[in-house]
Structure 1
């Protein structure tokens, strides 16, 4: 009886260990945004050694497999890298830069964490302020606070965390990776997309060099 109980506990502990290992998978096993069927599925593509770089410019949109968000401070490029069936490449966000309107100095790719402060979900609507305004008027005897600036309404923390996690997973992975790979790249730009006349995505990494003319 004691032996049976011991074996049962050991089996339960082993199962918990497997769960913990799957939840703490090394970074090398992480998967980012699913790549498209091939380079021709993107706006532009160019060769860098044995690797084909492909990309789409999506403006201030932040597309993820689960939802599309927006950012006013950055523009986004969805990039894909393709090679032979057994091909690999060492990826780094620093390998990419974006030349906007022919500027001499191209904008370097930025870490996805910097995008979080300006990240918005266009599908999320803040709760109506009418009920709060009514309660304030009653509580203060009428129009005493009518000219006051309303307090900002923030997205619930659990929704913001889910949004940020989706963007993190969709961003370009780094390190030694098997091909194909795909992900989002972020470049600082606060202007309107309509003011962009020309775009060049510049890749300079372990595979070689390539320049892609993108559609604004």
Structure 2
């Protein structure tokens, strides 16, 4: 019988193909979720049908992209800690990985605080205060990481939401982490590698 994906017939058009596993870890998967949020926003803006049911899928995609970007940044930051020789009190990379995969690690607030602490230890620029504040507010709205997955899990007093503005907040936070922090960590990791190679 085979697995579901492997049992699908060969596509007739190459444009219909997606390569399974074509990800650079959580980094590119995070980008995929944020891009999915953008696509849901575009569908919402089209207004071609009643679009209120798109709200939670839109938020979920952006939020999950942010979670994955935070986790990837934590992984890279911990690698930098170990490469820089500041690892006497730091958890091992495998301990961090196990921690990030635990059920409790879907909470963006603690992930953001953990990342901020490691960036501070590395003496690198941290998350901007407004981004950190916004992520903590997101944590308050979604303490378990499941508020946007089910219709009855969202606890809010809001009756109406400016979807475009909300999506802009999500996209900005994602871009700060994915485009800003991860790029900074790439540069720092290369610098540490070069220092060790020449030293």
Bin of the TM-score, shorter chain as denominator length? under 0.3
Higher helix share: 2
Computing the radius of gyration from Cα coordinates, the structure with the larger value is 1
What TM-score do you get using the length of structure 1 for normalisation?
0.24
Of structures 1 and 2, the one with the larger relative CO (CA 8 A, separation 6+) is: 1
* TM-score scaled by length of structure 2: 0.25
Q: Tell me which protein shows more strand as a share of its residues.
A: 1
